[in-house]
């Protein structure tokens, strides 16, 4: 996986603003201290599981941390069965396991909850967040990264860097692969700067918006 310090050092070297970020798929906000150590001031945390979102809201200080509950997708209002994983919810997803079961047999789906999807654009609108508030997007959505990106058409033009969990194999049934995300990000004006993978053929990729000389100063 890509070390947070390496990512932020590279962003700073490229003069990419990275003090205000969003982390989509918060779980227990495991990377919070590392973000703070690397100069991040404001963080928007978005978590799908209501119980975890309520927990984060109670333990994270505001206004530097904002916690919202949402199942991010490319449509708003679709009722789905959200799969809850046994590893403290970390592998929970709108998708069912596929290769994930073979590679991580000790992790199982232990239940489902009925939730409604929303787009990130609608999350920002309903919470009166400016589309240009955050400049870095971190995505840990267990297969839903591409759907969430497609649902952020108003926000993505203001984003300078995206760190996304990617997979070269179908860990989740019917979930988009890294090549699909690569293609979409290229269409949106991003290039893949670096990536790191686990032995199980999934990992993280850093996409950076291609900027003109007038933007880089």
Please give the chain's pLDDT, 217 residues, in tens.
899 999 999 999 999 999 999 999 999 999 999 999 999 999 999 999 999 999 999 999 778 999 999 999 999 999 999 999 999 999 999 999 999 999 999 999 999 999 999 999 999 999 999 999 999 999 999 999 999 999 999 999 999 999 999 999 999 999 999 999 999 999 999 999 999 999 999 999 999 998 644 454 3
The length of the chain in residues reads 217
**Could you tell me which residues come within 8 angstroms of residue 124 by beta carbon, excluding any fewer than 6 positions away?**
130, 131, 133, 154, 155
Q: Are 86 and 110 in contact (CB under 8 A)?
A: yes
Q: What architecture (CATH level 2) is domain 4-210?
A: 3-Layer(aba) Sandwich (3.40)
The full set of domain ranges for the chain reads 4-210
């Amino acid at each position: 996986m890509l070390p947070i310090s390496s990512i932020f050092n590279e962003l700073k070297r490229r003069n990419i603003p990275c003090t205000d970020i969003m982390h989509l798929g918060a779980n227990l906000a495991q990377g919070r201290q590392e973000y703070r150590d690397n100069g991040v001031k404001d963080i928007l945390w978005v978590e799908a599981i209501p119980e975890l979102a309520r927990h984060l809201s109670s333990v994270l200080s505001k206004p530097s941390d904002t916690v919202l509950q949402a199942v991010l997708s490319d449509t708003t209002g679709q009722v789905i069965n959200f799969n809850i994983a046994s590893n403290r919810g970390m592998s929970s997803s709108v998708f069912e396991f596929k290769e994930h079961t073979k590679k991580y047999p000790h992790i199982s789906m232990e239940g489902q909850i009925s939730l409604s999807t929303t787009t990130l654009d609608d999350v920002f609108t309903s919470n009166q967040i400016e589309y240009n508030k955050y400049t870095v997007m971190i995505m840990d959505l267990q297969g839903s990264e591409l759907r969430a990106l497609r649902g952020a058409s108003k926000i993505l033009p203001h984003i300078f860097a995206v760190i996304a969990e990617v997979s070269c194999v179908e860990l989740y049934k019917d979930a988009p692969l890294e090549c699909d995300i690569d293609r979409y990000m290229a269409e949106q004006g991003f290039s893949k700067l670096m990536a790191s993978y686990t032995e199980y053929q999934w990992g993280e990729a850093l996409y950076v918006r291609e900027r003109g000389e007038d933007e880089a100063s």
